Amino acid sequence: MAAARLQLQALDLEDLAALDEAVRGAQVRVGNIGFEPKRHRFAIVLDRHGMASGLHFEGVLKAASRGFDRDDPEAQLELRAIGCEPGSDAAATVVLAFAGGASIRLDVECIEAYLADLPAAERS
């Protein structure tokens, strides 16, 4: 019997904390990180204990990274935590913290994130 695929949605700080728990320790290939400024979407494919999963954030106004080489698509990162710094109104800064001090900061209009395990055909 196949295990059920995980699907989570985060629309507030409490939801984001649950999503953080689900992805802690996941491995990420730098080439599987992308930001689509025109669509205001940030997406990442990660390996959660042998399961490929897609994580994306909507309403992203700005994405900035530090501590890793974006020009090395094969480089591996370990996701340690997803944190959030609330801003004015519903706006926030979401921080993806990786081992070794690397991070990605997302300025978002509001918290809106989705995590879903990918079918085998979509894994890379």
Give the pLDDT score at 33. 98
Rounded distance, CA 23 to CA 49, Å? 9
* Confidence at residue 121, expressed as pLDDT on a 0 to 100 scale: 58
Whole-number pLDDT of residue 2: 55
Maximum alpha-carbon separation in the chain: 47
What is residue 1's predicted lDDT score, i.e. its pLDDT? 44
**Nearest alpha carbon to residue 36 among 88, 106, 103, 95:** 106
What are the structural domain ranges in the chain?
A: 7-118
CA atoms of 39 and 55, how far apart (whole Å): 15
Encode the chain (124 residues) as per-residue pLDDT tens digits: 456 789 999 999 999 999 999 999 999 999 999 999 999 999 999 999 899 999 999 999 999 999 999 999 999 999 999 999 998 888 999 999 999 999 999 999 999 999 999 987 554 5
Give the alpha-carbon dihedral of 28, 10, 111, 29, to 10 degrees: 10
